[in-house]
Structure 1
Amino acid sequence: MESGQHDWQADLELIRRAATEAGEVAHSFFGRSPEVWWKNEGRSPVSAADFAANERLEKLLITARPHYGWLSEETDDDNARLSHETLFVVDPIDGTRAFIAGERTWCVSVAVVHQGRPVAGVLVAPALDEEFYACLDGPALMNGDLISVSHPDPSLPLTLAIAEDLLRKLPAAQTQAVRRVRHVPSLAYRLALTADGRIDGTIVKKNSHDWDLAAADIILQRAGGKLLDSAGHPLVYNRESVKHGMLYAGAGPALDKLSRFMPDEPTD
């Protein structure tokens, strides 16, 4: 276990530099038909760009903080991470399907997680020229500007990122209270859109992972919002299982409305 004082601002600067470099590596493959493989029984694509960006992140981050643990979508999981109170949680390309399809809504996601909660996070979206970042006790920023969650009029429909099949399952009265935005493949980017107020919130299907969520979670938190499980609790990261159940994200009255959309089932 690590002990002593922690400088999360220094960690934020480190992960910003690393994510920027990894974004440059990934972007060099963008629109150039990188080689693609399929994992998880053919359900999830991974490209040469994912592996190249992951390699750059691991080299930069572990060299700088060799005492931190490591969890990445593109690195075989090692339960040794459970013995670390602080670790990097990384998705070298969140939104690989969008990346492969030539859509710009993908990002490099890097977080520092300490004792189960994110304390610094950055999302770099090179194709959009956007960088979101925050650390504990600091503001949430996008390209250097302060960002904040929306404060929607309670009498108006919520602008949400929600899957069509989930929307169809809602009662008619709830469906009428939603204005659905076009699907954004990157979960981290959807949460960033919630953090900067472009949308009021999102509902996340089961089986998202720590690496999809941790960086966006701290950014959303510092922007005035919350990412919660179906029971209304903040997420705990770096557990033995890195999967999560259904989640919802937003702020204020939007969170109250979204909580009523959640099914009565436990998280994973």
Structure 2
Amino acid sequence: MKMKKILGITGIALASTLVLAACSTKSEKSTDSSKKEEVVFATVGTTAPFSYEENGNLTGYDIEVAKAVFKDSDKYEVKFKKTEWSSIFTGLDSGKYQMGGNNISYSAERASKYLYSYPIGATPSVLTVAKDSDIKSYDDIAGHSTQVVQGTSSVTQLEEFNKSHSDNPVTLNYTNENITQILTNLNDGKADFKIFDAPTVNSIIKNQNLSNLKTIDLKSSEQPYIYFLFADGQDDLQTFVNKRLKELQKDGTLAELAEKYLGSKDYIPTASDLKVPTGK
């Protein structure tokens, strides 16, 4: 009788030990998962096809490429944050965000403050005008008006244009409106032209039925790539993302996403173009 009682107590103790061990293992796994480093990715969320909302969720080329980059990562967990264009950069400055992406091109000024990824896509620019416009080429924009957003590459481009055309400069009307609103204004005759990337313009003209607009290809000696940005000091994150971008380019994921969101798989960098921009 005593032996049975002792065995019963031993069995209960063993079972309790196993339960505690299982709970401990589960707790350790949970703790390991919570140790992932959170990467707050800032984007605008209103510039299709790069970042926009669909059924209440952020999507678009930049967003889906970022999701693919961080998929199954043991070290990082990405969290997307919708914000204003200028706030992407102030947030990176303050450390509020570790990473940003929203059809972001290269500029020497940005490169002096932030880290760049490898290129994630190519976005050749087009000149958008009304169908009956007297603007037939880039040289014809002198004396005409356009809406621009402060801090964008097109502002820099047009400011340089005005330096060499001081007798008949382009009128730059600064705005906080997004590109859809700007193109709608252009369609309604409230401006004369807009310079922006082809994938975005073509998507908006089609989706918003802006039937009064047409595009003119702009020649360039350089491929206008877009990138992810990282806050200063995020060198390890930059290395991780660039390694993943190389893998996604090789396995066809970038081409698949470009086909779906940008309209052509031709809008991706080649393997030899996977370099951090230096401006040289």
TM tier, smaller: 0.3 to 0.5
Provide TM-score, normalisation by structure 2: 0.31
Higher fraction of helix: 2
Q: With structure 1 as the length reference, what TM-score do the two structures score?
A: 0.32
Q: Which has the higher contact order (CA 8 A, sep 6+)?
A: 2
**Rg larger in 1 or in 2?**
2
